[in-house]
Amino acid sequence: PPTHLQIQVLDDSTDETTLLARRRARVWRRTGIDITVHHRRRRTGYKAGALAEGLESATGEYILILDADFVPRPGLLEALLPSMADPGVGMVQARWDHLNEQDSWLTRAQALLLDGHFFLEQRGRYRGGRFFNFNGTAGLWRRRALADAGGWQSDTLTEDLDISYRAQMAGWRFVLRDDVGVPAELPSTAASLLVQQRRWAQGGVQTARKLLARVLRGPWRPAVKFEAFVHLCGHLAHPLTFALALLVVPAALARRTLGIDRLWWLDLALFLAATAPFIVFYWTAARRRGRGRGTAARGVAGTLALAAGLSVLLSGVVLRGLGRARDPFHRTPKTGSAARSSYETHGGDFPGRRLVVCAGALMVAAGVVAIAAGHWGSLPFVALFAGGYLAVGLRAGIRRTPALRIPASALPRQSAKAPPQEHQPHGQPDRGAVPERLRPDSSGLVGSETPVAEEDEAA
C-alpha cells in the first residue's frame, strides 16, 4: 500500500531538474505519498555518496534502488519481496529490459550484451553459488546487508560491484530474479555509451585491486575464487584485444620472414577459438530473448563489432584504473525523450573518435597488405577489427530515434512467487542497527551545504 512506502529522489542536479522534482513531489505528497527530494549541492562521493546520504534518512527495512531512467511496471515490489522471506538474503536483483532497443545497431548491440549478462552470465553465477553483483539499479536491498558490508563507499567508480562483493563476503546471499524485467533507456550514441563504459571499465579494475586479494585468501571454494577472478578482471580483455589487433599483421610478416608462412591456418584456428565462444554465448542469449535467427545473427555481428571497436577506446582507461588513477564519476547521458516521434540524425563526435577511425583505416590498409602478401589466415582478424573500429567511429553516432515506448516484450508477466533459492557458501552475520531518520524541511527537501560543480546524477 502507498502508506507503507517512503520514496526518496536523490538529486545532484545543477539545472532545473531539482525544481521540477520538487514540484512533482508536492503533488504526490498531497495524495498521501511519503516522498522527499534530497538535493546535494556538492557531489561528495558521487553516486555512492548520494546513496549513503539517502540511507541515513530511510526508515524501511528494504531499500529498492532505481536509476532515474528506469520505468518499473506496477507490482515490482510484490514480485521481488517474496525472495526476501529467507532472512539470509541480502539483495534481490531484477533483469534490465530496454526502452529504445530498436533505435540503431548500437542500441541493439547493447541490448544483446545486457541480455547475455543477465540470462547467461548472472544466472550462471547465481545458480552455481558464485559471487554475483548488484547492477546499480533495479535491485532490492535488505538494510542490514548494506550495514554489514560497511555501507556505500566511493573509492571505486563501481560502487555497486564493490558493495556486492563486500556484502557476500560478510555472509549475505543474493538472489537473481531474471523473470522480472525493469525497462530502462540504453545510451543512444557512442559518446554516451563511452561515458558509461569508461566508468564501468575503470571501476571494475579498481574493485579488483581493492577486493580480489581478500577473496583469494578467503574460505571459499576454488571454483568460487576462480569465477571471482574472471569476473573482477574481465575488463582486462580490452587492452588484450587491442594488443591482438596490433600484433596480427606483424605476426604474419614475421612468419613469412622465418619461412613458416605456410602455417597460415593457425591464424584461422586462433580466430575461431577466440570468436566461437562469443558467438555461441550471444546467439544463445538472443534466442532466449525470443529473437528470430536473422535478428540474432545481426545482433551477434553488432556485438562483435562493438566489442572490437571499444577495445581501442577503453584500453587506456583500464590501465589507468590499474595504476590507481581516480577519474570523476560522470553520469551516462540519456535522451529521456518520450515525445520524439520523428527520425533524426545526430552528430557522432566523441572523445577518441579520430583515434578509432584512424585505427580502422590502418586495419583496412593492413588487410590490403595481407591480401597482397597472401596472408589469408590473418584476414578474419583484420576484417573484424577494421569493421569494429569503423562501425564505432563512423556509424555509432547516427541513430534512428522513434518515440520511447515501453514495448510489450519488455514487460513480461511477473510472478510474485520467488524461485527456489540457490545458497552460496556463506554464513549468517550479526545484524547492524538501523539509524534514525532525519527530518526534511516543510518543502520535502533535505539539503546539504556547498555548491556542486559537476554533472547531475539522480537515482
Distances (CA, A) of 270 to 28, 211, 324: 59, 33, 33
Closest to 373 in 3D by CA, of 283, 456, 257: 257
Alpha-carbon distance of 262 to 376, in angstroms, equals 10
Question: What burial class does residue 78 get, using C-beta atoms within 10 Å of its C-beta: 0-12 exposed, 13-18 middle, 19+ buried?
Answer: exposed
Annotation says 12 is catalytic: yes
Residue carrying the nine cell digits 508536492: 26
Catalytic choice (11, 97, 160, 162)? 160
**Three cell numbers at 277?**
565462444
DSSP assignment of 7-61 equals: EEEEE--SSTHHHHHHHHHHHHHHTT-EEEEEE-SS-TTHHHHHHHHHHHH---S
Annotation says 103 is catalytic: no
Alpha-carbon distance of 291 to 373, in angstroms, equals 41
Residue pair 157/253 in contact by the 8 Å Cβ criterion? no
Catalytic choice (11, 12, 67, 97)? 12
Give the contacts of 404 (CB within 8 A, at least 6 positions apart). 99, 100, 185, 335, 336, 337, 338, 340
Alpha-carbon distance of 100 to 399, in angstroms, equals 11
Which residues are known to be catalytic? 12, 160
